[in-house]
Amino acid sequence: MKEANALHIAIIPDGNRRWAKAHAWHPWQGHEKAIENFRSITDWCHADPRIAVLTVWCFSTENWKRDPQEVTKLMTLLENYIQKERPTLQKKGIRLVHSGRKDRIPPSLAALIKTVEDETAHFTELAPNPSAASGAGFTLHLAVDYGGKDEILRALQKSLSSKLTAPSSLDSDPIHEHLDHPELPEIDLIIRTSGEMRTSNFFLWQSTYAEWVFLEKHFPDFSTEDLKTAVDGFTKRSRRFGS
């Protein structure tokens, strides 16, 4: 069972292509290795009672600028991964959710994501008193065709279309409640690999007070021990939230 106020951990898995290049491989082979690595990281987070949500940025709104062959291969890898993990999610009681657009990714991938979201929706709603079932309280959150600005714009459009009146004072609720998954807690810790030290349009609304860890390792070399070190370090930080 997850701890009360368990953490929302997010990973920006950079460096797959650079890792592949260093091994004289095709770019998508770096993504293949990353997905293998992602499985062990998900298992570790699922087993750790301190972690309630794992968010992974699989494909950004800007990634469409990449070589079409690489994009096609990456979409296929994502679809194969979700299909392969589908029984495991059911067995372990893990809820899968997706943030981002579904209208631009391959229809088969969009349909699969929707199906697995529906299949696993009952496993956890991150309620204060989760059931004692294995995996209770754990959500795997995949960001596919996702960008922070895009999500906020879509939330604003939904807010306006629902004819909500403008708040009389500064109030985030009209936007927050129309985000892709407003039920998820705000992000506590973001880990970015491959030496990149920028936020890159990543969950701008939800990461307002997130702590950051930047690592030099490319994601295919990122280990569960690296993750444990980051989470252990986070738990020792004093978070002031502006106070």
Decide: helix, strand or coil at residue 34.
helix
| Residue 221: DSSP 8-state | G
Separation of alpha carbons 96 and 80, rounded Å: 15
For residue 237, the one-letter residue type is: R
Catalytic residue among 16, 37, 48, 63: 63
Separation of alpha carbons 94 and 134, rounded Å: 9
Residue with the two structure tokens 């007070």: 209
Is 226 catalytic? The answer is no
Catalytic residue among 5, 14, 48, 232: 14
Residues written for the chain: 243
Separation of alpha carbons 111 and 169, rounded Å: 40
E strands, 38-93, are 51-60
Maximum distance among all alpha carbons in the chain?
Answer: 58
Active site residues: 14, 63
